[in-house]
Every structure is written in structure tokens, then in C-alpha cells.
Structure 1
Amino acid sequence: MRVKTRTTAQGTEYWDTKEKRSIFVHLGDEPGFEVNANPKSMLNVNEDEKKEDTGETAVNFNMMTVQELRKYAEELCIDIPDDVKKKADIISLLQ
């Protein structure tokens, strides 16, 4: 996939995502390849955080501390046993 990165007075620069290199096309020349105008990989969307609009706000458990996770579980009336100490284990119980 090749994506347009910038235009200068001399021409246009493209980024080849497969070969990981820049390609320069001089002003007036047509690129000899297909250019993706709005590639999905260039959008600022994280698939893990992408959520359908259900009226609920998304909670990022990875940004919370163990104490915050326990408090959040308590607010939702979810019982977290005292012997569960690891953040990953608490997150798995909340999901």
C-alpha cells in the first residue's frame, strides 16, 4: 500500500508500507502505482478501544491501578476475592 505523505515544490512523496521506504514522484509525473487516499492503517483508531455506541462510556482498565480496579468492581457490585492480587487477573474478572 502506498500513501501520499507530502507535496513539495519539486513533487510528491509517498510512503510504501510494505517496503518501508519513501517514493518520490517529480512534479508533472503521474505515479506508476495505486495510491490509497484514506487507508485504514493511517487512521487514529485503536481496534481494542473501538466500541459500539450503547450509551455506556468505555473504561480503559489498563490505565487504572489495582486499587482503582477494586473500587470500580465494588461500584459494580462485583466481588473480587482477596487472594486475587494481579492486575491482569482483576481485569479478566471485570470483563
Structure 2
Amino acid sequence: MHVFIRKTAQGKEFWDTKEKKIIFVPVSSNQPSLESMNVKQLKKYAADNNIEIPADAKKHEDILKAINEVLQ
């Protein structure tokens, strides 16, 4: 589970409770919005940013919700 710590100009920081380490998710100005990504792109984004997607999340809306819960 990732717990939000803080938001900076460079990105967001989260505490990974399993790995016991800080995860940094940088802000990227050339990144498309999450809403415009397809399921495959959302899963890749989640994997690249160490965000766990629940196994039962198969639809675009469910994956997007899981990502947004971590990023907020």
C-alpha cells in the first residue's frame, strides 16, 4: 500500500508500507492525461510508478480509480 506523504513542484512522494521505502512519482509535462490512456497504458504507468492495481480491476474506470487513489 502506498501512503501519500507530500506534493512538491517536482512530483509526489508516497510511503510504500510493504517495502518500507519512499516512492517518488515525478511530474511530467509531456505525459498525456491518465483519462486519455487506454488500459494497457494505465497498467504500464502504474508499473512504472510502483502503483499496485488490484487483481479484480480490469476496466479502464477501475484501474484509473486505483491509480488516482494513490496519487491523491
Give the TM-score normalised by structure 2: 0.50
More strand by share: 2
**Higher normalized contact order (CA 8 Å, seq sep 6+, divided by chain length):** 2
Bigger proportion of residues as helix: 2
* Higher Cα radius of gyration: 1
